[in-house]
Structure 1
């Protein structure tokens, strides 16, 4: 039993936030299924007699040459479609810290610390495994990312009774993880920086910010400014997905006093999350995951492959568990009474599913067409993490079901589960 005088680690949030998180997870789970379908289709095509046509599709170029936008379809997916993914991530992260339960510093500290631990330890482990291998060091960030859509798709199959607090933790961890990833990409994977286009990008970004701060929703005004910001950031040499995060951060979260309904960030998230989860990420997976499996034996003799796989399967859970435990130790907090450290272990292993951003960093580190072993490592590490997490979390399924039923109990039929009413001031259990 948790000591009521001590702060609870990963305690249950508000009912409003729980409903919002549940809606997000439902969309991301569907997106994860589509992502998995795209990856499987790419693998089948890349290992079929028509493998050359798959490569031809990936390498097909289109776009205006004058604007430095004559890109292959694979590059359009990585630089263009993933900008939508990171735009939604920026909206979600700002929403969590401005208006969500994580505006409470004590709540925010846990997923932030866990995300940092889940980045640092895999990177260190990768560098240890690949030490002495020429050129391997530039791939240190590959195993640091968690794929939220893929992880939630697995979670929907193996742990649909997972307590709300853990589902919220996984979502927030992955969003913070994405933000760290985009910072890493901007700082460490920008080879040639052109200051003039980067400075020029500030003009459409500033105008976009002014308009959204005034609650302007007209797509014919905002979309050209967003595209101009993206194109100029791309031309600067900074990875264009950075523009997506900056645009997401520009959108106000809180509702206007004069207008009812959802705030602008919530409005945009509602519009763009299906596009991100249902189109952008699956198409990127389809154009990135295809790799010939004929040389699997040689691939697993490559220290880079072993380093990426070790970072995902071992580094992620070690980093997340260590950071969470240290946070509990230094804040003198107990784990919430509904949870155990076995639950945290299962979730930490699940966070080792790295796909979308890991593949993107692999392409940036080793180049498109030269990252076949990285793709094998990411796929193998992600599948292994998913299987291990399935074993751990399925063992807790009965407990999850009991907690789930208690959370949904609504004896007074007011539409709010009693467990959330019990937390209100003046309410008794």
Structure 2
């Protein structure tokens, strides 16, 4: 349990601290808050056309579009290892029911969000429809922590929840890339990003290993690692980010093509595993090096995005919240039951079908990614602020999960 608390303290407490400061600041002086977030760092910056059609680098853009690429790179690393490695958690039959439950945890919120929006009338629907992806998100750190509080560290439902959260992250990255471009699409620039990833992989990963074939001391790979470290991948990452920005896809996803190119271990133990810190492959070394920068980035992200006046609460607030606390549990229960029962895929030994309801409430904590999606789904203004408030209110799902756990008489499995 210590490692989980330690992880949340490192990655999430600063995020909450930044969000609380922003929320208080915005409700004391909203004008000075917006003046701070839109502070111009570099006018006429040579990085492409930004929000207002001019080459202006603001503090908000620096955090959301540039620095958050580090956060999504870490998420991509976990997803990549879960999918590609032989013992990856999202491979094989063991992942089938969690993957189906993940689908339900996305379709359910979308159906609730858009269905209720349609009931509120065409004007409301038109105003909020683009935010359909906001309630599909699951905050992996907070959800995992709450899951362990409700079920106990050793309960099979906790691992089920973690698989679901990782798969949700993967789907979220795809949704951001496909449905929320940052500007008019220019797909040719994606070739630049993937060419950078391919080049760095071939020259600094594949070729040294090819030359070292049959040599146990791996002289070429070792020499490149000692002399260059992660520098080639940092340069390739910058090039890939630029390609994403120019392509029209959200630049915060710009490091995704580089992650699979980095040398990695042939085993993965998961982001919350104590063993992870003893892996010294370059991918894990770079992840560890990003730990403290990402802590600061998440603090700044909370500070830049959570500053919403309580007067901004509106239809989008309740739609996001309903999508999360109604759509998530219903979708996860329905799809999980279909997979476990009629489809015959089963659920982990020691779990009950009713546990899927509790898992649904735990997964309804959207927070970080929900805030991010709200910031790209809507232009700055009342609808965006209302949607962000719904993401902030999703913390209420933790209390609902604890209540649901008691009502369904969950027996905790402690370490």
User: What is the TM-score when the length of structure 2 is the normalising length?
Assistant: 0.80
CA distance in 1, matches of 2:408, 2:117: 36
1:404 to 2:384 alignment: no
1:231 to 2:242 alignment: yes
For the Cα contact (< 8 Å) 1:126–1:308, is it kept in 2? Answer: yes
Q: Which residue of 2 aligns with 1:73?
A: 59
- Summarize the Cα distance change of 1:134–1:182 in structure 2 as closer, same or farther, 3 Å threshold: same
Q: Which residue of 2 aligns with 1:423?
A: none
- My pick for the range that moved more, 95-104 or 85-94, is 95-104
Q: Which residue of 2 aligns with 1:285?
A: 302
Q: What is the 5 A alignment of 1:29-428?
A: 30-48=10-28, 50-63=29-42, 65-68=45-48, 70-97=56-83, 98-102=85-89, 104-131=91-118, 132=122, 133-155=125-147, 158-159=149-150, 161-190=152-181, 191-210=183-202, 211-213=204-206, 214=208, 217=225, 218-255=229-266, 262-276=280-294, 278-296=295-313, 299=314, 302=315, 304-370=316-382, 371-380=384-393, 382-393=394-405, 399-400=411-412, 403-405=413-415
- Summarize the Cα distance change of 1:152–1:286 in structure 2 as closer, same or farther, 3 Å threshold: farther
Shift, 1:159, TM fit:
3.5
Q: Which residue of 2 aligns with 1:417?
A: none
Shift, 1:344, TM fit:
2.7
- Summarize the Cα distance change of 1:347–1:162 in structure 2 as closer, same or farther, 3 Å threshold: farther
Shift, 1:396, TM fit:
7.6
Identify unmatched segments of 5+ residues in structure 1.
1-18, 406-429
Shift, 1:342, TM fit:
3.9
User: What is the TM-score when the length of structure 1 is the normalising length?
Assistant: 0.78
Q: Which residue of 1 aligns with 2:51?
A: none
SS at match of 1:135: helix
For the Cα contact (< 8 Å) 1:32–1:151, is it kept in 2? Answer: no
- Summarize the Cα distance change of 1:100–1:394 in structure 2 as closer, same or farther, 3 Å threshold: farther
- Summarize the Cα distance change of 1:24–1:393 in structure 2 as closer, same or farther, 3 Å threshold: same
- Summarize the Cα distance change of 1:282–1:115 in structure 2 as closer, same or farther, 3 Å threshold: farther
- Summarize the Cα distance change of 1:28–1:374 in structure 2 as closer, same or farther, 3 Å threshold: same
Query: Aligned residue pairs: how many?
Result: 371
Moved over 6 A (4+): 395-398
Q: Which residue of 1 aligns with 2:272?
A: none
CA distance in 2, matches of 1:250, 1:321: 37
CA distance in 2, matches of 1:207, 1:102: 29
CA distance in 2, matches of 1:397, 1:269: 39
Deviations along 1:255-296, whole A, 9 cap, x unmatched?
49xxx95433333333334543x2222321221011011354
Deviations along 1:272-328, whole A, 9 cap, x unmatched?
34543x2222321221011011354xx2xx2x3332111111111111121211111
Shift, 1:204, TM fit:
2.0
For the Cα contact (< 8 Å) 2:339–2:346, is it kept in 1? Answer: no
Deviations along 1:211-234, whole A, 9 cap, x unmatched?
244565513322122112112211
Shift, 1:182, TM fit:
1.7
Q: Which residue of 1 aligns with 2:52?
A: none
CA distance in 2, matches of 1:377, 1:140: 13
- Summarize the Cα distance change of 1:88–1:24 in structure 2 as closer, same or farther, 3 Å threshold: farther
- Summarize the Cα distance change of 1:379–1:104 in structure 2 as closer, same or farther, 3 Å threshold: closer
Identify unmatched segments of 5+ residues in structure 2.
49-54, 209-220, 268-277
